[in-house]
Amino acid sequence: MGTRGREIIGMDVDKLLEMLNKAFASEWLAYYQYWLGAKLIKGPMKDAVAAELNLHATEELSHATLLAGRIIQLGGTPALGPSDWLKLTPCKYDAPADPYVAVLLDQNIAGEQCAISTYKAMMDATKDKDMVTYNMALTILEQEVEHEEDLQSLREDLDLMVNRGAK
């Protein structure tokens, strides 16, 4: 890695790498949860929700790309395989075993909320210590906040449709 780039980091780089790798693992799991959910989904509004899940899958993968880039830049190694992802992630992997729209939305909302906490913590830890990681975490956090709201508003529409339609 670049020596000067490492010198300007005002915190323990190993600790930073650990944090980055945990987030990296979570992004792959989020990607897969969305990607598979979009294929299995059943119920009202499934096409609209699947389109959003697919878009989010792509965006989670782009977060993994950002994190891998930063890990490598800092001289670290991104988690080498899927068996490491479950060990490293601070978030839960919710298998889309029940394909009903509302269940998938709830699972992914919980995932986004965990992601928001992860990047908030990364920003708190790197503030005034590592501007590059701080800035990357902000970029990702902005998208996770958007994801949460996208899913919650779909969830609200689904409730309105199901509850009002029944009357």
List contacts with Fe ion (CB under 5 A). Answer: 27, 60, 63, 112, 144, 147
Residue 112 vs 130, nearer CB to Mg ion: 112
**Token representation of residue 15:** 């600790």
Residue 112 vs 150, nearer CB to Mg ion: 150
Residue 67: CB partners within 8 Å, gap ≥ 6? 20, 21, 23, 24, 27, 78, 136
| Contact assessment for residue 99 and residue 38, using Cβ atoms and an 8 Å cutoff | no
Q: Least distance from C-beta 99 to Mg ion, angstroms?
A: 20
What is d(CA 101, CA 42) in angstroms, rounded to the nearest whole number? Answer: 6
Partner that binds at residue 150, options Fe ion, Mg ion, none, CB closer than 5 to 8 Å by kind: Mg ion
Q: Least distance from C-beta 56 to Mg ion, angstroms?
A: 6
Q: Least distance from C-beta 24 to Mg ion, angstroms?
A: 21
Taking CB positions, which residue lies at the least distance from Mg ion? 150
Q: Least distance from C-beta 167 to Mg ion, angstroms?
A: 30
**Token representation of residue 104:** 């998938």
Partner that binds at residue 130, options Mg ion, Fe ion, none, CB closer than 5 to 8 Å by kind: none
Residue with tokens 């830890």, as numbered in its chain:
125
C-alpha distances out from residue 57 to 35, 78, 144, Å: 6, 19, 12
Partner that binds at residue 60, options Mg ion, Fe ion, none, CB closer than 5 to 8 Å by kind: Fe ion
Partner that binds at residue 148, options Fe ion, Mg ion, none, CB closer than 5 to 8 Å by kind: none
Q: Which residues bind Mg ion (CB under 5 A)?
A: 150
Q: Which residues, listed in sequence order, are joined to residue 42 by a DSSP beta bridge?
A: 100
Q: How many CA atoms lie within 13 A of 32 on its CB side?
A: 12
Q: Least distance from C-beta 64 to Fe ion, angstroms?
A: 8
